[in-house]
């Protein structure tokens, strides 16, 4: 049986502990913070243009723009971390009531954005007056906007977009991520290359496009264009024109008033369901290649009666409601009267 000397073991453990402590200390995140406050009046615009970084917009009753930028480097060694962070500069300028923030890598380093982006994390946290406009752009990171009485324009090359209740127009575009708008007092224009889109009540028009994900609109007082390459489309209360389509999923819309012009709902694989007020006039043009057309209200049919095709009028006719699916059923259901 071998025997170990306690005196020899203790120095070894001490050395190992020292090495582990040194290793963990060397790998500790290195951070830098930038803070600045600008005095502004309402109705100005915050503009952010950054090569990387997530952005969070908060609001307050103060007539000021308060900026906090945090840069974090995930590398071995404090000096190396500080060297990397210095390669990403943040500049801030004020022009009247407008504030502009730029976050850029050093010139000549564009080819290293991908590598540096994995080692550097940037977070923008900005508080603006409640009545203010924002125009934000980041090449990589999510954007979150609190309730705001103004227009909101946000664009990111990769990350989600989350808007609170925005009193003005909303524009949002991401190359990969979901988009959520709680409410809009204006019009909404949204696009994502891969992710779902969820929209609350909108006072104006809705334009929503995704290359892969579902689309949901609670209600819209204006026209609605909703297109997805893969996912369902659900529209709550509709007061205007509708053009909704998907390559794979169900499509559903509930009209709350008379159609002002022709509308269309279509899918390549799924069901189509619409609800229309019982007292409005509409022309029906419904066709399915792999299912049946179900009509839950009196319809005057023109031409031959078929299970998969319905051409006719409801309440004397009106604008055309065109419904199409290649693999699924079509349901036309009676809703509440507009007089109710």
Nearest to 206 by CA among 193, 192, 218, 194: 218
Among all chains, which residue has been given the structure tokens 């007020």? 277
pTM value > 0.95: no
CB 130 within 8 A of CB 61: yes
Q: Report the distance separating Cα 261 and Cα 315, nearest Å.
A: 16
3-state DSSP helix/strand/coil % of the chain, to nearest 5: 10, 50, 35
pLDDT digits (tens), the chain, 340 positions: 444 444 554 454 455 444 444 444 454 578 899 999 999 999 999 999 999 999 999 999 999 999 999 999 876 567 777 788 889 999 999 999 999 999 999 865 444 444 554 578 899 999 999 999 999 999 989 999 999 999 999 999 999 999 999 999 999 999 999 999 999 999 999 999 999 999 999 999 999 999 999 999 999 999 999 999 999 999 999 999 999 999 999 999 999 999 989 999 999 999 999 999 999 999 999 999 989 999 999 999 977 778 999 999 999 999 999 999 999 999 999 999 887 6
Segments making up each domain of the chain, as ranges: 22-140
How many residues does this entry show for the chain?
Answer: 340
Q: Report the distance separating Cα 179 and Cα 93, nearest Å.
A: 29
Phi, psi dihedrals of residue 329, rounded to the nearest 5°: -95, 160
Sign of CA dihedral 100, 106, 109, 114: negative
Spatial neighbors of 27 by CB under 8 A, at least 6 apart, are 75, 76
DSSP-derived secondary structure letter, 106: P
Q: Report the distance separating Cα 72 and Cα 171, nearest Å.
A: 29
CB 179 within 8 A of CB 195: yes
């Amino acid at each position: 049986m071998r025997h170990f000397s306690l005196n020899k073991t203790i120095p070894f453990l001490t050395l190992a502990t020292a090495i582990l402590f040194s290793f963990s200390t060397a790998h500790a995140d290195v951070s830098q913070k930038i803070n600045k406050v600008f005095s502004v009046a309402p109705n100005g615009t915050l503009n952010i243009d950054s090569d990387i970084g997530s952005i969070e917009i908060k609001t307050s009753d103060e007539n000021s723009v308060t900026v906090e930028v945090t840069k974090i480097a995930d590398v071995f060694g404090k000096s190396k971390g500080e060297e990397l962070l210095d390669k990403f500069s943040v500049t801030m300028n004020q022009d009247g009531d407008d504030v502009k923030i730029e976050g850029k890598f050093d010139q000549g380093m564009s080819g290293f954005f991908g590598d540096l982006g994995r080692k550097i994390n940037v977070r923008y946290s900005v508080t603006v007056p409640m009545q203010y406009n924002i125009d934000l752009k980041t090449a990589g990171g999510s954007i979150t906007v609190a309730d705001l009485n103004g227009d909101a324009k946000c664009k990111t090359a990769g990350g989600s977009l989350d808007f609170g209740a925005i009193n003005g127009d909303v524009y949002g575009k991401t190359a990969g991520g979901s988009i959520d708008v709680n409410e809009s007092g204006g019009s909404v224009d949204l696009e994502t290359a891969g992710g779902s889109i969820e929209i609350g009540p909108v006072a104006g028009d809705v334009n929503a496009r995704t290359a892969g994900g579902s689309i949901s609109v609670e209600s819209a007082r204006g026209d609605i264009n909703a297109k997805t390459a893969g996912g369902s489309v659900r529209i709550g209360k509709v007061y205007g024109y509708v053009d909704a389509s998907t390559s794979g999923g169900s499509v559903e819309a509930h009209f709350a008033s008379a159609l002002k012009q022709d509308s269309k709902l279509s899918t390549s694989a799924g069901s189509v369901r619409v609800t229309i007020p019982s007292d409005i006039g509409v022309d029906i043009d419904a066709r399915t290649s792999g299912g049946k057309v179900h009509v839950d209200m009196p319809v005057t049919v023109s031409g031959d009666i078929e299970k998969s095709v319905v051409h006719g009028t409801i309440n004397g006719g009106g604008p055309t409601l065109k419904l199409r699916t290649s693999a699924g059923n079509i349901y036309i259901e009676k809703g509440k009267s507009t007089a109710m």
